[in-house]
Amino acid sequence: MIEIKGLYKEYGKGAKALTDINLEIPQGQFAVLLGPSGAGKSTLLRSINGLVKPTAGEIFVQGEPVHDLRKLENVRRKVGMIFQQFNLVKRLTVIENVLCGRLAHSNCNVWASCLKLFSGQDIDLALHCLERVGLERKAYQRADQLSGGQQQRVGIARALAQCPNIILADEPVASLDPKSAEKVMAALQSIKEQDQITVVVSLHNIELATRYAERIIAIKDGVIVIDKLANMLSTSDIEHIYDTAVDLVEEEFDCNQVAYVHA
Amino acid sequence: MRKLTCFSFRLSVPWRSGAMVTMKRLVLILFIVVVYIWSAAGTHLSISELVKGLPQLADIIGRMLPPNLEILPRLVNPTIETLQISIWGTTLAIFFTIPFGLLAARNISPHPLLYKFGRFVLNATRSISELIFALVFVAAVGLGPFPGVLALAFHSVGMLGKFLADSIENIDPGPVEALLATGANKWQVIAYAIVPQVLPEFITLCLYRWELNFRSATILGIVGGGGIGFELITSMRLFMYPDMTTILIVILGMVSVVDYISSYVRSKIL
Q: Is the Cα torsion angle B16, B17, B21, B26 positive or negative in sign?
A: positive
Cβ-Cβ contacts under 8 Å, A116 against chain B: 191
Kindly list the residues from chain A whose CB atom is less than 8 angstroms away from the CB atom of residue B178. 81, 83, 87-88, 100, 155, 158
Give DSSP secondary structure letters for chain B: --SPPPP----SS-HHHHHHHHHHHHHHHHHHHHHHHHHHHHTT--HHHHHHHHHHHHHHHHHH-S--GGGHHHHHHHHHHHHHHHHHHHHHHHHHHHHHHHHT-TTT-S-HHHHHHHHHHHHHHHHS-HHHHHHHHHHHH-SSHHHHHHHHHHHHHHHHHHHHHHHHHTS-HHHHHHHHHTT--HHHHIIIIIHHHHHHHHHHHHHHHHHHHHHHHHHHGGGT--SHHHHHHHHHHTT-HHHHHHHHHHHHHHHHHHHHHHHHHHHHH-
Task: Give pLDDT, residue B233.
Answer: 86
Whole-structure pTM value: 0.76
Yes or no, beta carbons of B184 and A104 under 8 Å apart: yes
B40: in domain:
no
The reply to whether residue B185 touches residue A91, judged by beta carbons under 8 angstroms, is no
What are the domain boundaries of chain A? Answer: 1-70+205-263
Sequence-distant (6+) residues with CB within 8 A of B24 are none
pLDDT tens sequence for chain B (270 residues) = 444 444 555 556 566 666 777 888 999 999 999 999 999 989 988 888 888 888 888 888 888 888 888 888 888 888 898 899 999 999 999 999 999 999 999 888 888 889 999 899 999 998 988 889 888 988 888 888 889 899 999 999 999 999 999 999 999 999 999 999 998 888 889 999 999 999 988 998 998 999 899 988 888 888 887 788 888 888 888 888 888 898 889 889 988 998 899 888 888 876
SS3 A62: coil
The verdict on a CB contact (< 8 Å) between A103 and B181 is no
Does residue B4 lie in a domain region?
no
Chain A interface test: which of B182, B188, B195, B203 (most A C-beta within 10 Å): B182
Q: Using a CB-CB distance cutoff of 8 angstroms, which residues of chain A are in contact with residue B197?
A: 89, 91
Q: Which of A51, A85, A91 sits opposite B181 (nearest CB)?
A: A51
CA–CA min distance A51, chain B (Å): 7
Nearest to A114 among B180, B183, B191 (CB): B191
Please report whether residue B10 resides in a domain: no
Q: What is the CATH number of the domain that holds B238?
A: 1.10.3720.10
Query: What's the rounded Cα separation, in Å, for the pair B79 and B90?
Result: 17
Q: What is the pLDDT of residue B19?
A: 76
Q: Which of B174, B184, B190 sits opposite A100 (nearest CB)?
A: B184
What was the pLDDT predicted at A79?
A: 92
- Check CB contact of A112 with chain B, cutoff 8 Å: no
Interchain proximity B178–A91, CB inside 8 Å: no
The enclosing H or E element of A241 equals: helix A235-251
Contacts of A85 in chain B (CB under 8 A): 174
B196–A75: do the CB atoms touch at under 8 Å?
A: no
The three-state secondary structure class of A66 is: coil
Please state the separation of Cα B233 from the chain's center in Å: 23
- Contact: A77, B182; criterion CB under 8 Å: yes
The answer to whether residue B147 is domain-embedded is yes
User: Residue B178 and residue A83: Cβ atoms within 8 Å?
Assistant: yes
pLDDT lower than 50: segments of chain A = 247-263
- The span from the first CA to the last CA of chain B, in angstroms, equals 42
How far is the alpha carbon of A87 from chain B, nearest alpha carbon, in Å? 5
Number of A/B CB contacts below 8 angstroms equals: 84
End-to-end CA distance of chain A: 36
Q: In the prediction, which pLDDT does A113 show? A: 81
Look at A88 and B197 and tell me if their CB atoms are within 8 Å.
no
Which one of A75, A91, A100, A142 makes the best mutation probe of the B interface by having the most chain B beta carbons within 10 Å?
A100
Q: Measured between CB atoms, does A152 come within 8 Å of chain B?
A: no
Task: Give domain A1-70+205-263's CATH superfamily.
Answer: P-loop containing nucleotide triphosphate hydrolases (3.40.50.300)
At position B37, the amino acid (one-letter code) is I
Helix (H, G, I), strand (E, B) or coil at A40: coil
Is B185–A87 a contact, with Cβ atoms under 8 angstroms apart? no
Query: Does B3 reside within a domain?
Result: no
Based on the structure, what is the number of domains in chain B? Answer: 1
Asked if omega into B66 is within 30° of 0 (cis), the reply is yes
CA B61 to the chain's CA centroid: 30
**Is there a contact between A110 and B185 if contact means CB atoms under 8 Å apart?**
yes
